[in-house]
């Protein structure tokens, strides 16, 4: 049976990279998962369908990220429990997570199905794409239980130091999603509705396979029937870790939704262009996102073991690799954004709009490569409140106001609106470096410091 990985001994760079590569591949497949909907709809349907999938998937991505962010509390707690040798507590943590997230999924599902028109209206969906947006949100909303289960399983295994199992489940989901999109959109011409149905069905298959894989794994704890209940102690710890991350990601996502709503007011071409650009961005930010997730798992185990010097070295290695790739992503996106956008749309106006927006995002590749690693480090040591604060400040003190100011300028462009994103990242990076210096000054990153 496959063993889980311990990050507390031996080399640093090699296990960090070996863990990060499956995370990267999983993120790539997840990005493909979302991009395939837009890609196939863009090739076989109208601009209204592209706009609907863009807006609808943005809503679903926001909610999915909210769930995944909150589930990071499970990842962090499990990692710290394993690092400190308290492995049997993991069964209670997982049992609490199962019931907690099942309840969250049911509530989300009801809200999305019932209030899909209001959500679409709030997003200022273009008139010609309005009903299609409602349909997409309702169909995906009806499948929230499997979407939540799909993401929770991945968070649990990353907390155990296992990034391969989530990769397998994501790969399966991606294959079924592509097949479903081609069948329903390209063959049967179902457009937006077909893309949504394919998305939900693929995740149902993935969750079923996940349970089969779980039954064959050598877990460091036993998930007993009596453990599947709400354990207040572990619920408090998970919430303390996960809630700030979730709130931060929610508010940051809302800031991007506000920007999308601003852009939607500029017409369907601008709306579709930003939708295409966001899909491209999901790929160009993959390395940074992979190191953020990997850093959290690596640091959490070392924090639990009291080995913070080792955790800081991992941060430095992660920044070096991530920033190197960030330079490459900047060059490709800034100078060849039109080629990247052309992958997702054949409409020349949409491609031009997306390329304009991507020039601003290209600049952001340089800053996120660094501060995403810091974010992963702070999550791993349980400083999730700071992560929340810096994210909210970047979103609402810079990103949203700058986007609005740019949007009301004469002769404005999507490039000008997009500049709000790297400007907010600069503030967040400054805050991250400053907080690190403060922790070191107060000797809160010394070895054998037991906060867990």
CA 445 to chain centre: 27
Angle at CA of residue 215, ends 213 and 216, nearest 5°? 65
Nearest one of 296, 441, 446 to 381, comparing CA atoms: 296
Burial 274-312 (b: 16+ CB within 10 A, else e): bbbbbbbbbbbbbbbbbbbbbbbbbbbbbbbbbbbebbb
Q: Tell me how many helices (H) and strands (E) the chain has.
A: 16, 0
Query: Residue 64 in contact with residue 241, Cβ under 8 Å?
Result: no
Q: Give the domain ranges of the chain.
A: 26-441
User: Furthest-apart CA pair in the chain: how many Å?
Assistant: 64
Gyration radius of the chain's alpha carbons: 21
What is the residue-level pLDDT of the chain in tens, covering all 452 positions? 445 566 888 899 999 999 899 989 988 887 777 677 777 888 887 888 888 888 898 888 888 888 988 998 988 888 888 777 777 787 888 889 999 999 999 999 999 999 999 999 988 888 888 999 999 999 999 999 998 998 888 888 887 788 888 899 889 988 999 899 999 988 998 889 999 999 899 989 999 998 888 778 777 776 777 778 888 988 999 999 999 988 888 888 788 888 888 888 888 888 889 988 988 988 898 889 999 989 998 998 898 888 899 999 999 999 999 999 999 999 999 999 999 999 888 889 999 999 999 999 999 999 999 999 999 999 999 899 999 999 999 999 999 999 999 989 988 899 999 999 999 999 999 999 999 999 999 888 887 655 54
Q: Three-state SS for 408? A: coil
Residue 14 has a CB neighbour count (10 Å cut-off) of 10
**Gap between the Cα atoms of 329 and 381, Å rounded:** 29
Angle at CA of residue 333, ends 331 and 334, nearest 5°? 65
Q: Which two tokens stand for residue 377?
A: 């480090």
Query: Residue 300 in contact with residue 76, Cβ under 8 Å?
Result: yes
Query: Residue 167 in contact with residue 32, Cβ under 8 Å?
Result: no
**Gap between the Cα atoms of 421 and 398, Å rounded:** 8
Please name the residue that has the structure tokens 């330079």: 327
Q: 18: part of which helix (H) or strand (E)?
A: helix 13-44
């Amino acid at each position: 049976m496959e063993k889980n990985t311990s990050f507390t001994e031996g080399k640093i760079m090699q296990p960090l990279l070996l863990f990060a590569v499956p995370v990267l591949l999983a993120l790539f497949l997840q990005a493909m998962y979302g991009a395939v909907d837009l890609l196939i709809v863009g090739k076989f349907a109208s601009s209204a369908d592209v706009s609907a999938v863009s807006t609808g998937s943005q809503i679903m991505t926001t909610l999915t990220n909210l769930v995944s962010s909150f589930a990071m509390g499970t990842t962090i707690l499990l990692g710290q429990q394993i690092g400190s040798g308290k492995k049997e507590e993991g069964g209670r943590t997982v049992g609490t997570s199962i019931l907690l997230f099942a309840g969250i999924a049911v509530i989300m599902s009801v809200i999305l199905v019932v209030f899909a028109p209001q959500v679409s209206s709030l997003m200022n969906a273009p008139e010609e794409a309005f009903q299609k947006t409602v349909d997409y949100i309702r169909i995906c909303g009806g499948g929230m239980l499997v979407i939540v289960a799909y993401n929770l399983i991945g968070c649990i295994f990353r907390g155990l130091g296992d990034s391969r199992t989530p990769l397998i489940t994501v790969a399966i989901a991606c294959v079924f999603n592509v097949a479903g999109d081609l069948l329903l959109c390209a063959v049967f011409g179902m457009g937006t509705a077909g893309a949504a149905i394919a998305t939900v069905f693929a995740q149902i298959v993935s969750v079923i396979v996940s349970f089969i894989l779980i039954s064959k794994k050598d877990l460091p704890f036993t998930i007993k029937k009596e453990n599947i209940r709400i354990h207040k102690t572990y619920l408090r710890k998970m919430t303390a870790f996960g809630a700030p991350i979730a709130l931060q990601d929610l508010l940051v996502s809302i800031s991007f939704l506000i920007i999308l709503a601003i852009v939607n007011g500029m017409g369907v071409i601008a709306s579709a262009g930003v939708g295409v650009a966001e899909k491209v961005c999901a790929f160009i930010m993959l390395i940074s996102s992979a190191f953020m997730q990997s850093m959290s798992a690596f640091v959490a185990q070392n924090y639990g073991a009291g080995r913070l010097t080792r955790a800081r070295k991992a941060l430095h290695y992660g920044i070096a690799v991530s920033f190197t790739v960030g330079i490459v992503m900047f060059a490709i996106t800034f100078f060849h954004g039109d080629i990247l956008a052309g992958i997702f749309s054949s409409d020349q106006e949409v491609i031009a709009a997306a390329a304009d927006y991507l020039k601003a995002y290209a600049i952001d590749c340089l800053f996120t490569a660094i501060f995403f690693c810091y974010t992963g480090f702070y999550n791993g040591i349980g400083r999730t409140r700071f992560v929340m604060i810096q994210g909210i400040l970047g979103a609402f003190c810079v990103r949203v106001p700058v986007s609005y100011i740019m949007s009301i300028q004469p002769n404005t462009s999507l490039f000008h609106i997009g500049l709000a994103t790297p400007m907010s990242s600069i503030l967040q990076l400054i805050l991250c470096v400053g907080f690190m210096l403060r922790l070191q000054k107060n000797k809160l990153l010394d070895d054998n410091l037991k906060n867990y």
